[in-house]
Amino acid sequence: MTAARGAAGLHLSPIVAGLWRSAEWGQTLSGRVRWIGQALDLGVTAFDHADIYGGGEAEALFGEALRVTPGLRERLQLVTKCGIRLVSEAQGVRVKHYDTSPAYVRGQVEASLRKLATDRLDLVLIHRPDALMDAAALAETFTALTREGKVLHWGVSNHSVGQFALLHARHALATNQIELSPLALGALDDGTLEQAQQLGLRPMVWSPLAGGRLLRGEDETARRVREAMRPIAQRLGAPLATLAYAWVLRHPSRPHPITGSGRIEGLREAVAALELHLGAEDWYAIWTTAAGRAVP
């Protein structure tokens, strides 16, 4: 598997390893180093973080692995996100809110650089749309941090078409990280994937397995979709997880699905989807079940 070339020179592997719950995986330092190496051996070279993951610990745990393994940093791409401020007595934050002020974004980038033990971040995303975002001021911050060599590319996460366009007009963005899975169909109708195709910017996709609900959820919708997927997976000779990743990958915007598992087998199941051809009829069979209706 080769890395895919994105906008303005951004390179991300087709499958991205997500570190959202990595602080809960219970990996030792040597276990983290081994897991990163195994991911790289599978061709998964992009690793997705956020400053708030693991209560702020996830980046530091990954950075510790990079510190003790010289040369490892040069083999991978680091993605992180900022802009969410959680309630914290220590930091004097009383209300959870979003913050895209220049000083805050710069401070979080500097903190991520320290925690991840690196001199540059390949991609930084604004985690959630900030109603108080000053697009011009934020774009100036992007430009300054890029000029300083601290951030190579910028993007957003969970932004609408209009929100993306507002910022993209002032500073070139590389991607919009959105939710998409057979249990989360909104991106197929809200214009974000059409915008991605129009601009030639591959989206990143979080929770392609619906946070595990698709495979293990006991709610009616999850069970119904899982049962519809099962005969397709059996016919194609693939695990349900691989079929779910293939369903996301089938979209012509060429998404980068993000995994969420600390098991190397979870990464293997995702990577296997790159070789699984899913026909339009099978794709729509899953969509029809998930949507609860036939196409018009």
pLDDT value, residue 167: 98
Contacts of 274 (CB under 8 A, 6+ apart): 1, 14, 15, 249
- Told to judge if 245 belongs to the known catalytic residues of this protein, a careful annotator would answer no
Domain extents in the chain: 11-174
Q: What is the DSSP string of 44-75?
A: --EEE--TTGGGGTHHHHHHHHHHTSTTSGGG
Selection from 176, 174, 178, 197 nearest residue 186 by Cα: 178
**Cα–Cα separations (whole angstroms), residue 75 to 11, 65, 208, 232:** 12, 13, 25, 36
Q: Are 241 and 254 in contact (CB under 8 A)?
A: no
pLDDT value, residue 90: 86
pLDDT value, residue 8: 56
d(CA 42, CA 56): 27
d(CA 115, CA 33): 16
pLDDT value, residue 195: 98
Active-site annotation holder among 53, 104, 245, 284: 53
Fold of 11-174: TIM Barrel (3.20.20)
Give the CB-side neighbour count of residue 271, counting CA atoms within 13 A: 20
Q: pTM for the whole thing?
A: 0.95
pLDDT digits (tens), the chain, 296 positions: 434 333 557 889 999 999 999 999 999 999 999 999 999 999 999 999 999 999 989 999 999 999 999 899 999 999 999 999 999 998 899 999 999 999 999 999 999 999 999 999 999 999 999 999 999 999 999 999 999 999 999 999 999 999 999 999 999 999 999 999 999 999 999 999 999 999 999 999 999 999 999 999 999 999 999 999 999 999 999 999 999 999 999 999 999 999 999 999 999 999 999 999 999 999 999 999 999 999 99
Q: Where are the beta strands (DSSP E) in the chain?
A: 4-5, 11-12, 16-18, 46-48, 77-82, 84-85, 97-98, 123-126, 154-157, 176-179, 204-206, 256-257
Residue type, 188: L
pLDDT value, residue 3: 40
